[in-house]
Homo-oligomer: A and B are copies of this chain.
Amino acid sequence: MEEKETLNIENSRSQMRRGLLEFCTLAVISKEEMYASDILEALKVADLIVVEGTLYPLLSRLKGEGLLKYAWVESSAGPPRKYYSLTPKGREFLDKLKVTWKALNRSIDSLVK
């Protein structure tokens, strides 16, 4: 029963990352059109572990909300890929999230300092 404790910090870390995924996903796509594997890689480099089962539904949701669009692009090796990019609405949304992020940052720093 006590070995849960070592897992616990990991759980808390996941919780922290949670909710930032949407923001980060939009942020990486805003720099460059990407398909799912690119996005996973970009997030992984920034230590934000995500798995396919999380990303695909997220991308679908963001597309459904009109924040993202995609284009099929044939790959030289393998099946075709969906390359995602931001819609104008997606860019506006990302800008708002950036503001939110900055504010949240200040709030938390004031609590933690």
Contact = CB atoms under 8 A, between A and B. Distances in A.
Contacts of A46: 107-108, 110-111
A93 B28 CA distance: 31
Size class of the contact patch on chain A:
35 or more
**Chain A's interface: helix, strand, loop or mixed, by majority?**
helix
Contact of A16 (B4, B14, B19, B110): B19
Given A15-B22, A16-B100, A27-B112, 5 more contacts: A9-B96, A12-B19, A12-B22, A17-B104, A27-B108
Interface of A: 4-5, 8-9, 12-20, 22-24, 27-28, 42-43, 46-48, 65-66, 93, 96-98, 100-101, 103-105, 107-108, 110-112
